[in-house]
C-alpha cells in the first residue's frame, strides 16, 4: 500500500480510538518516573494487574533508588516473586538503583541512551518511562498489543518489535507517539483481543484488512 494511504489509515485509527479513549493512561500504578521504571521492569512477562499488587509493598519498603540499592537480594526477591523471573529482576533493579544514584543524581534518566544502558531496560521500557514519566516522545513502545493490532490493521508487516516501531514512527506524528501506545494497548485489551477479536463491535472494522484473523 502506498505510504500516503497508510498515513491516512493511521490518522483514521488515531481519530477513532481517541474518541473511544479520550484520556488513556498507563495501566501500571506509579508515581513519577522512578516508580514507573521499576514497575515497567517488573511487568516484563507479567501482567500489569499483578505488578500493581506487588509495587505498593515494594515502594513502602524502598521508596526510591537510594533505599532500593541497599535492599538485600533475597528480601527483594521475596517481595517481587509473583511477577516471575524474580531473581533476574531483583538483580537488575538493585543494580539500576545503584547506577541511578551514582550517575543520575537519584533520578530516572531522561534519554533513550541512558535508560537503555541500565540492566533489564530495552527500548520498550525506555519509551514507556520517557513518555509516562517525562512527556518525552523519543519513540513508540511496542508490546504484544501494539504489535498485534498494527499488523492486523496493515500498518506494518514486520514481526520484530524494533521494525514495528520504525514503521509506526513513520505513520504517526511525533507528538502522538506516546498516546498511540496507550490507545492500542487499551483497544487490544478491550476489543482487539488476541484469540477472539470483537470485530462486530469495532469502530475500525471498515478500514481493517484483518490480517491474521480467521475469517
Euclidean distance between CA atoms 90 and 87, whole angstroms: 5
Q: Number of C-alpha atoms within 13 angstroms, CB side, residue 204?
A: 30
Q: For the chain, what is the mean pLDDT?
A: 96
Place of cell 504489535: 147
Judge whether 124 counts as a catalytic residue. Answer: yes
Q: What is the pLDDT of residues 63-103, one digit of tens each?
A: 999 999 999 999 999 999 999 999 999 999 999 999 999 99
Give pLDDT, residue 100.
Answer: 98
Instruction: Please give the pLDDT value at position 87.
Output: 98
Q: Among this protein's residues, is 89 annotated catalytic? A: no
| pTM for the structure as a whole | 0.94
| Contact present, 198 and 157 (Cβ < 8 Å) | no
> From the candidates 89, 124, 147, 167, which is the catalytic residue?
124
- The confidence score (pLDDT) of residue 214 equals 82
Distances in whole angstroms, Cα of residue 82 to Cα of each of 36, 69, 72, 106, 144: 18, 21, 17, 27, 21
| CB contact at 8 A, 178 and 169 | no
* pLDDT at residue 109 is higher than 90: yes
Domains by residue range for the chain, with CATH: 3-24+140-207 (1.10.1670.10), 32-134 (1.10.340.30)
Nearest to 212 by CA among 190, 200, 197: 197
Report the chain's terminal Cα–Cα distance, integer Å.
Answer: 22
Amino acid at each position: 500500500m502506498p505510504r500516503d494511504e497508510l498515513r491516512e489509515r493511521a490518522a483514521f485509527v488515531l481519530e477513532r480510538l481517541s474518541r473511544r479513549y479520550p484520556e488513556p493512561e498507563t495501566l501500571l500504578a506509579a508515581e513519577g518516573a522512578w516508580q514507573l521504571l521499576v514497575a515497567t521492569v517488573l511487568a516484563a512477562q507479567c501482567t500489569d494487574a499483578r505488578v500493581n499488587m506487588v509495587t505498593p509493598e515494594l515502594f513502602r519498603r524502598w521508596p526510591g533508588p537510594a533505599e532500593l540499592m541497599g535492599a538485600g537480594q533475597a528480601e527483594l526477591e521475596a517481595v517481587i516473586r509473583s511477577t516471575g523471573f524474580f531473581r533476574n529482576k531483583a538483580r537488575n533493579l538493585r543494580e539500576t538503583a545503584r547506577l541511578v544514584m551514582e550517575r543520575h543524581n537519584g533520578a530516572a534518566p531522561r534519554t533513550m541512551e541512558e535508560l537503555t544502558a541500565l540492566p533489564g531496560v530495552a527500548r520498550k521500557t525506555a519509551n514507556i518511562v520517557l513518555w509516562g514519566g517525562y512527556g518525552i516522545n523519543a519513540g513508540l513502545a511496542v508490546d504484544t498489543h501494539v504489535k498485534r493490532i498494527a499488523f492486523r490493521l496493515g500498518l506494518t508487516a514486520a514481526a520484530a518489535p524494533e521494525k514495528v516501531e520504525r514503521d509506526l514512527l513513520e505513520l504517526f506524528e511525533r507528538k502522538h507517539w506516546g498516546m498511540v501506545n496507550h490507545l492500542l494497548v487499551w483497544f487490544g485489551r478491550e476489543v482487539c483481543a488476541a484469540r477472539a477479536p470483537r470485530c462486530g463491535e469495532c469502530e475500525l472494522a471498515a478500514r481493517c484488512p484483518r490480517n491474521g484473523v480467521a475469517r
